Amino acid sequence: MIDLKTTYLGLDLKNPLVASPSPLCEEISNIRQMEDSGAAAVVLHSLFEEQITLESSQLDTSLEAGAESFAESLSYFPDMTSYNLGPEGYLEHVRKAKAAVDIPVIASLNGVSTEGWIKYAKKIEEAGADGLELNIYYLPTDPDMTAAEVEQVYYDLVAEVKTRLRIPLAVKIGPYFSSMGNAAQRLDELEVVPNLILSTPHELLLRLHWVAMIYGHIRADLALTGGVYTAEDVLKSMMAGARVAMMTSALLRYGIPHLEMVRRDLVEWMEKHEYESIHQMQGSMARKSVADPSAFGRANYMKMLSSYTPRAVSRK
């Protein structure tokens, strides 16, 4: 019997397939289907800082101010009257999701300041969430702000949220820090983030690179998200050192039942290659398993360049 079990954020999961935030998570029926299709956990869509700190009417006014000046500008801003559920509705959605399924339900907060909105972290915990994912998106526009100051924004926010929680906290960040290893060590828990648009399979490589680099150097569990479409992608994620592989774009493109195919292919590959468990392969291809990671990285770089064979292009 193939053992697909893994752990993430201290949670025991039946396999490494996790449905990450998307509009699919706004419907309880979809969350039930995710569980039935093999998802081991689900991360709900985000509750945004702006939804909490501003009343809906104030937010609508702020977004629409001046928009009517140019017809094309009407498409610049989202229609917040129809966007998800608002703060209290979100808490109720967490409660309903927890009551509807047996798999862990992880909530998500999206913000960047350290003001009053973070009190909702505690409210989310009280609503029954098994964990909280802090989805930090910060675009520095001040040219005088240094990289170290940008990173400090992340560290301060995570520290502030952690003081309010007993449930585990994951931090979703981008893969473009100048020193990802150092940033990961300073964060309590880490997750690698996809782009806002639907990810594509070619985006997986950068995520694999950083997970393999970081694995074994921090205590936090690693989750890989962005470019995970197939069982092969999940296997690569596990071997790089991730505890779970999160999927959103694949489910939006191919539907929730896509999880069933990925899980089936995952089991078939493990049986064929005589793997008994997911745990057996986790981190087997991480950089810490290589005596000289720097030399290994350069060797792979040279191999990649030398192995490319140009294809002839016919011209008419």
107: domain CATH number is 3.20.20.70
Q: What is the pLDDT of residue 154?
A: 82
pLDDT band at 310 (very low <50, low <70, confident <90, very high): low
Q: 155: pLDDT confidence band, cut at 50, 70 and 90?
A: confident
Q: Can you tell me the mean pLDDT for 266-284?
A: 94
Provide the whole-model pTM. 0.76
Question: Cα–Cα distance between 85 and 23 in angstroms, integer?
Answer: 12
Whether 129 maps to a domain, the answer reads yes
Does 236 map to a domain?
Answer: yes
Residue 247 CA to chain centroid, in angstroms?
Answer: 8
Q: What's the CA gap between 67 and 71, in Å, rounded?
A: 8
Instruction: Report, as an integer, the average pLDDT of 116-124.
Output: 84
Element (H, E) at 173: strand 169-173
Judge whether 91 lies within some domain.
yes
Q: CA 138, CA 173: separation in Å to the nearest integer?
A: 9
Stretch 93-109: mean pLDDT = 96
User: Does residue 198 fall inside a structural domain?
Assistant: yes
Who contacts 50 (Cβ-Cβ below 8 Å, separation ≥6)? 59, 111
302 in a structural domain: no
Please report which confidence band the pLDDT of residue 36 belongs to, taking 50, 70 and 90 as the band edges. Answer: very high
Confidence of residue 239 (pLDDT cuts 50, 70, 90): very high
Number of domains comprising the chain: 1
> Is pLDDT larger for residue 179 or for residue 307?
179
- Domain membership of residue 299 (yes or no) is no
CB burial string 287-302: b at 16+ within 10 A, e below: beeeeeeeeeeeeeee
pLDDT of amino acid 296:
52
Average per-residue pLDDT in the chain? 80
* pLDDT of 76: 42
Within a domain: 296: no
- Res. 309 pLDDT band, cuts 50 70 90: low
Q: Tell me the helices (H) and strands (E) count for the chain, helix number first.
A: 13, 10
Which 8-state DSSP code applies to residue 167? S
Given a cut of 70, is residue 271 above it in pLDDT?
yes
Structural domain for 72, as ranges: 6-289
Rounded Cα distance, 217 and 11, in Å: 21
Does residue 315 lie within any of the structural domains? no
The tokens for 72 are: 């094309």
